[in-house]
Structure 1
Amino acid sequence: MSNDYKDSKFRELLDKLQQESWQLELLISGFAIFGLITAIPHVRTAMIIAENDKQFYSFALLLTAFIACSILIFNLLIHVILRGLWIGALGLRYVSGDIDFEKLNYHNRFTKYLKKRIVSFDKYVATLENYCSVLFAVTFLLIFYVISISITILCFVAVAILIISNDSLPEVPRTIIGVFLICFLVIGTLMVFIDFLTQGYLKKKKWLSKIYFPFYWVFSFLTLTFLYRPLVYNFLDNRFTKRLSIFLVPSYIAISVLVSFKQKKTNYLDSAKYVSTAYLNTKNYENLLINDDDFVTMATIQSKVITDSYLKVFKVFTGNLENQMYTYHPTLKPKEDKRGFNSDIIKYDSTSSLKVRDSLTNKYLEIFNTTHQVYIDSLKFNSDFLISKNKKDQIGFETYINIKNLSEGKHILKLKRLRKRKKDTIKVTDITIPFWYFKE
């Protein structure tokens, strides 16, 4: 059969598919819900890993995927419930037919009111059908909106990082180009957002449409709007779908607000986690990192209760830590900063470069050991950190402290760091970890 949209037979096929689409909707919804519920924990774990590893681009991509999955699950569950209600209503209609208000024998006031509000059972079935059909389309339209918003945010970040903050480009041109692009993105984003909220107001006024069109054209490609534009305009040209689209955003905001409410059990214990000497944070103890999404945020020791004659201290690496070391020892900073987003397809290291790298690594480690000190209670202990990975595959620095002469009972470990502030060197506490020591 011809796929020409003007062909009458093709239109007949579409009308037929339209009438029978509920079967496909239920089938797709069922498989999608099952797949998404299975996938979303893995997406969440990957997102937490990316966040811990400071992989901004991966985190942004996974966050977008997580939000999209959440929207899909929520909307498809509602769709299945409504479609189930629709099927139930059809079954009831087959048995009972339409509503016979006279047979109910209600008072005239109630009969008139019910006839006005309900009209007929067929109208109820038709309304359910409309909501089910539209909700399925809305679900995927919202996913496109999430993707568009994510791309817009990434565009701002890309301009800031790749142009404005790019030291390899001349300062004046990069500043001019960067500021121009940021201004264009800001104005374009605001105009597109206003046009979205007003459902096309900027396209209706002659002088506004002339100003808006260049931004509209650029953003249609930038945010992939051209992929779902027919869906949007099909929504806006119908009164029912137009009302529904207006209702959607406030409803999601309301749901988010409602979900944020929770029962508070105490005035004090909830805030105890901010008092490091009074709170046992599970992320500070290696043996308690059980779940896939449990990661070290700052540092760990092996457990809350130590029975060994040593204390294993692991300090996780972060990009900020390296910046702190550069501040303390500026000569450590390389001429070419290789951190950031890059490819390792072509990678070559000569013998001389390997020797230089080894010597710099040793120097790096030396500076780290100089700037980081381990204290138990108020006593400083000797430490010799080496580069290592923990059981969560997080890279960092690891050392073992001899505590066989430590008294039994509760103790407080403090990992302190030397920090340069102007001309002075001060000592700050990075983390405080309580533990108990009992000899075997």
Structure 2
Amino acid sequence: MDNHKNKSFVKWLEILQQESWQLELLISGFAIFLLASAFDDLGSFEYQIYLLTTGNDYFQTLILPFQIILGAWYVLMINLVLHVLLRGLWISTIGIRYVSNEIDFKKLNFSPKFDHFLKKKIVSFDSYIERLEQLCSIVFGFTFLIIFILISTGLFVIGIIFMALSIEYTERYLHNGWLVLLIPVFILYLIGGIVYCLDFITLGWIKKRKRIATLYYPVYRFFSIITLSFVYRPLYYNLIDNRYGRKVVLFLIPYMLIFTMISSMSFETHSYLPERRDPETLGNDYYDDTWDGSTLIFSASIGSKFVTNGFIELFLPYNGRTDDQVIKLLCPDLVPAKKGVFFLGKRDMARDTMNAAKALDCHSQRFRLFVDDSLIQNVNYRFYDHLQRKNQGLGTILDVGSLSRGEHSLRIDVLFYESLNGKDTLIFKPTDYIPFWKE
């Protein structure tokens, strides 16, 4: 009974294998449609993550998962489009075979040199169709293998970050005796991960060495769990057990190198334009009506470069990673209103005992505003949540009605924290030069 059931299952798999191209095309087409639709949302997601990183260093750990998602998006899009093209070529060859069975080189009447070369390279049309079928199936499987490899790499790097943060926390807040344990564990984790990676890209070279295989076995088991490689292990070993599949897996290294190079490539077509152009630049990011909304900006901004009603609406962003140090030194008696990073549910506003007026006065001391090099006195700031940029800071309305018609310049000096000769110091530095035109 069991033998009959097993034969039926094998037969079902063989039938499914022969018809798998339909599933591959269906999944590829559906996935390409979803990936193309998600492109704009991916950009919005990126903006939100980088916006979070301005508030606290802990949120920088979110960048790595996002980079994995972004890399997976590009890999899926490129490989699945390639798969659809190859499957289209494969279907076209089957259609051509229906019209003409094999290539008749006698009718082509090529010269002996080309006739010998083409007969050697093109053994038969059926063999070409078979190789093309194998290539399509391997490209499809190879695509998802890369996705899982990216996930495994990300999990390994997250482990490095977690252990590094643990060492930093221990060194800062706990007894240094714990470092005697943590640092060797961290080093062993790095070495084990490198060895595991080498074994992977060399198609199991270490596992073939009997002398070291016994020592490597617990390392292999540990990182199989940490990186979740046991999920795609059958796919990997099924690829490398034949010569054609091994070539595809070995292509993984140049594939990732080429992918990294292309994704980081940029073109420079203006040789005589300097990289640093402030304050001689008319930047779109300084004005809310010309900012494209796709990139996170840390500069101040005004509503428009043209002032028609005599008032300028100025926004000064708050960057917790750098500004918190300034506020602690500037106003040491000011107790933070928010402690912690993550909150479940609605935060208890009753625990917020910070005096809003005192906090606003402290934040206001961080800025000096100049119009045409003249310091503006008695600027009234207010806390402001920027609707377009989705970040928080200070806002103010500047009365420039008395200025003459034409071009003017707004300069913003910001207070920065520096450690000079072992002493904590606050220094004003110019950060933004915003030109505007009064009508």
TM-score (normalised: structure 2): 0.89
Indicate yes or no: 2:369 matched with 1:374.
yes
Could you tell which deviates more after superposition, 55-64 or 96-105?
55-64
| Equivalent of 1:204 in 205, 208, 213 | 208
Q: How does 1:84-163 map to 2 (within 5 A)?
A: 84-162=88-166
8 Å Cα contact 2:411-2:432 kept in structure 1:
yes
Counterpart Cα distance in 1 of 2:405 and 2:6: 87
Q: Does 1:387 align with 2:380?
A: no
Distance 2:333 2:128 in 1: 73
- 1:437 is matched with 438
Instruction: Sort the Cα spacing of 1:320 and 1:40 in 2 relative to 1 into closer, same or farther, 3 A.
Output: same
Deviations 1:9-64 (A, max 9, x none): 21111111111100110011111100111012201221122112214344433332
In the alignment, what sits opposite 1:310?
311
Q: 1:32 corresponds to which residue?
A: 31
Deviates more, 1:328-337 or 1:81-90: 328-337
In the alignment, the residues of structure 2 paired with residue 343 and residue 305 of structure 1 have an alpha-carbon distance, to the nearest angstrom, of 42
Deviations 1:263-316 (A, max 9, x none): 5432123x35x212121221211112344x254322111111222312211111
> Cα 1:210–1:259, aligned 2, differ >3 Å: closer, same or farther?
same
Distance 1:10 1:316, change over 3 A: same
Q: Point out where structure 2 has 5 or more consecutive residues left out of the alignment.
A: 54-58
Percentage identity across paired residues of the two chains: 31
Moved more, 115-124 or 308-317: 308-317
Q: 1:176 to 1:314 in 2, by over 3 A?
A: farther
Residue type matched to 1:296 in 2?
I
Encode CA deviations 1:153-195: one digit per residue, 9 max, x unaligned: 2222222335532689623255344423421321122112211
Deviates more, 1:405-414 or 1:125-134: 405-414
Residues of 2 paired with 1:49 and 1:349: CA distance?
A: 24
TM-score (normalised: structure 1):
0.89
Decide whether aligned partners of structure 1 residues 124 and 160 sit closer, same or farther in structure 2, where only a CA change above 3 A counts.
Answer: same
CA contact (8 A) 1:417 1:429 kept: yes
Distance of 1:47 and 1:323 partners within structure 2: 24
Asked if 1 retains the 8 angstrom alpha-carbon contact of 2:298 and 2:317, the reply is yes
Q: Do structure 1's residue 320 and structure 2's residue 321 form an aligned pair?
A: yes
Structural mapping, 1:33-432, within 5 Å: 33-54=32-53, 55-162=59-166, 164-165=168-169, 170-258=174-262, 264-269=268-273, 271=274, 274-291=276-293, 293-326=294-327, 328-329=329-330, 331-332=332-333, 338-340=339-341, 342-345=342-345, 347-348=347-348, 350=350, 353-354=351-352, 356-357=353-354, 359=355, 361-382=356-377, 383-392=379-388, 393-421=390-418, 422=420, 425-432=426-433
Q: Is the 8 A contact 1:373 1:417 kept in 2?
A: yes
Query: Residue 285 of structure 1 aligns to which amino acid in structure 2?
Result: Y
Distance in structure 2 (CA, Å) of the matches to 1:387 and 1:178: 44
Checking the alignment, whether the CA contact within 8 Å between 1:53 and 1:318 is kept in structure 2 is no
* Contact 1:296/1:316, CA 8 A, preserved across alignment: no
- The answer to whether the Cα contact below 8 Å between 1:376 and 1:413 also exists between their aligned partners in 2 is yes
Conservation of the 8 A alpha-carbon contact between 2:312 and 2:397:
yes
Counterpart-to-counterpart distance in 2, 1:198 and 1:301: 56
Q: Which amino acid aligns with 1:362?
A: A
Displacement of 1:142: 0.6
Are the equivalent residues in 1 in contact too, given 2:331–2:362 (CA < 8 A)?
no
Tell me, in whole angstroms, the C-alpha distance in 2 between the residues paired with 1:135 and 1:378: 63
Larger relative contact order (CA 8 Å, sep ≥ 6) = 2
Query: What is the alpha-carbon distance in structure 1 between the residues aligned to residue 299 and residue 171 of structure 2?
Result: 31
2:364 partner letter: N
Structure 1 vs Structure 2 CA RMSD: 2.7
Alpha-carbon deviation of 1:258? 4.8
Letter in 2 for 1:246: L
Deviation, 1:323, is: 3.0
Please state which structure has a larger fraction of its residues in helix: 1
The residue type equivalent to 1:329 in the other structure is L
The unaligned stretches of length 5 or more in structure 1 are none
